[in-house]
A and B are shown apart, each in its own frame.
Chain A
Amino acid sequence: MKPSLHPFWAGVRAELPLLVGVFPFGLIYGTLALNAGIPIVAAQAMSSILFAGSSQFAVAQLIHNAAPAPVILLTIAVINLRHMLYSASLAPHLKSLSLRWKILLSYLMTDEAYAVAILNYERIGGTAFAHWYFLGAGLALWTTWQTATALGLWAGAALPATLPLDFALPLTFIAMVVPALKNRPAVAAALSAGLVALLAFSMPYKLGLMLAALTGIAVGTFLESRVERNAIPPQNVGRDIISPNQERE
């Protein structure tokens, strides 16, 4: 918590716990891609060009099953649909950046970088250097993903399965979400999204995740506007909250 730390390095540091979970996923992806018969160069290129873990897993599987290209592309699009939500969520914070920054940060917009970046934006608001924090988090993840892929391609299937490292990822998300649940609409958003995610889990291509997220967002938004209509003062008075001439119906 040194105040002198450059936002870039603060972003890198905030990303570190997530990397523990991401690294084994990268290794497994590399191994999976090899087994699917994807050439090494293409498998590595997928990690840097596509740069989206779960869709890369699906591609490896589909290539292995000799699925036609349009099917694979459609699958990628559906699995990565949630990035449009991230894009919309981050957009107001990136608004004043140059096009170059917008392109760079959009390219780095993964689940894990998003989670770290958006919490920072919500905590400190749009300070002049907040995009460096995002860049630090994004590049830390990017480097890890490329390295883990390369190692997976190189070392093959010799993975230790004893430590449940994949659990680090949900744990990190818990560590991020729980302290941010400061009011009832936020808690309701989290619970309803989680519940729908369980009910809709068997839907293909992460559509259940998308449905769950949209449900949570709708529930949170609806409850917040109801709280307001009942003239209870909002608990999270923030920078960008509520114009006084708020009217509904």
Chain B
Amino acid sequence: MTIWLVVLLGGLVTFGMRFSFVWLLGRLEVPETMRRALRYVPPAVLSAIVFPELFLRDGSLDLSLGNSRLLAGLVAIAVAAWTKNSLLTILLGMAALVLFQVLGL
């Protein structure tokens, strides 16, 4: 019983948040400051997701050479900056991670 309540109401809440500004801004003018701020949503949010994946291991900072995800991530960043090719970035990043793990780093 609880689970269905959670699914339905939780779904409603989540949809409400996804719909919120799409609905509101259809009816209001977007102020210039806000429009400018919104352009920084992608780099800010995506970096905030990526950083912990690279730098944290079991919740604590790991800057050592043993952190294979950080090393592979740096490889991927270099590939992305250099080639701007997403498929290549993902493939080489993944290959780097597997390699570093096999090497026992």
Q: How far is the CA of A72 from the CA of B2 in the complex (A)?
A: 10
Most central of A88, A118, A198, A240 by chain B CB within 10 Å? A88
**Chain A interface residue count, Cβ-Cβ cutoff 8 angstroms:** 93
Q: Which of chain A's residues has its CB closest to B101's CB?
A: A164
Query: Is A141 close to B, CB under 8 A?
Result: no
- Check if A186 sits within 8 Å of B90, measured CB to CB: no
Question: Which one of B6, B7, B22, B59 lies within 8 Å of A94 (CB-CB)?
Answer: B22
**Chain B interface residue count, Cβ-Cβ cutoff 8 angstroms:** 69
Kindly identify, within residues 68 to 105 of chain B, every residue whose CB is under 8 Å from any CB belonging to chain A: 69, 72-73, 76-77, 80-81, 84-87, 89-90, 93-94, 97-98, 101
Most central of B5, B50, B56, B98 by chain A CB within 10 Å? B50
Question: Which one of A55, A82, A180 lies within 8 Å of B10 (CB-CB)?
Answer: A55
- Check if B18 sits within 8 Å of A177, measured CB to CB: no
> Which residues of chain B are near A42, meaning CB under 8 Å?
3-4, 7
- Check if B77 sits within 8 Å of A174, measured CB to CB: yes
A138-180 vs B, CB cutoff 8 Å, 1 = contact: the mask equals 0000000000000000000000000110011111111111111
Query: Is A31 close to B, CB under 8 A?
Result: no
Question: Which one of B37, B39, B76 lies within 8 Å of A174 (CB-CB)?
Answer: B76
> Which residues of chain A are near B59, meaning CB under 8 Å?
201-202
Query: Is B65 close to A, CB under 8 A?
Result: no
Q: How far is the CA of A75 from the CA of B90 in the complex (A)?
A: 32
- Check if A38 sits within 8 Å of B3, measured CB to CB: yes
Q: How far is the CA of A170 from the CA of B33 in the complex (A)?
A: 30
- Check if A69 sits within 8 Å of B48, measured CB to CB: no
Q: How far is the CA of A193 from the CA of B47 in the complex (A)?
A: 6
> Which residues of chain B are near A169, meaning CB under 8 Å?
53
Chain B interface main SS type: helix
> Which residues of chain A are near B73, meaning CB under 8 Å?
170-171, 174
- Check if B21 sits within 8 Å of A189, measured CB to CB: no
Kindly identify, within residues 29 to 44 of chain B, every residue whose CB is under 8 Å from any CB belonging to chain A: 30, 32-44
Q: How far is the CA of A148 from the CA of B61 in the complex (A)?
A: 32
- Check if B30 sits within 8 Å of A84, measured CB to CB: no
Q: Which of chain B's residues has its CB closest to A170's CB?
A: B53
Question: Contacts A77-B13, A88-B38, A201-B56; is A180 near B6 (CB within 8 Å)?
Answer: no
Q: Which of chain B's residues has its CB closest to A42's CB?
A: B3
> Which residues of chain A are near B72, meaning CB under 8 Å?
167
Known pairs A50-B10, A174-B76, A221-B40 / 14 extra A-B pairs, C-beta < 8 Å? A76-B10, A84-B17, A88-B34, A90-B22, A168-B94, A170-B50, A173-B50, A177-B50, A179-B81, A197-B52, A198-B61, A215-B44, A216-B43, A225-B36
Could you list 7 examples of A-B contacts with CB < 8 Å?
Answer: A46-B7, A91-B26, A102-B19, A106-B15, A175-B85, A192-B44, A198-B56
Interface residues of A (CB under 8 A from B): 17, 20, 38-39, 42, 45-46, 49-52, 55, 59, 63, 68-69, 72-73, 76-77, 80-92, 94-95, 102-103, 105-107, 109, 111, 115, 118-119, 122, 163-164, 167-181, 185-186, 189-198, 201-202, 209, 212-221, 224-225, 240, 243, 246
Task: Name the 6 nearest CB pairs between A and B, nearest first.
Answer: A216-B44, A220-B40, A194-B51, A175-B86, A49-B11, A91-B25
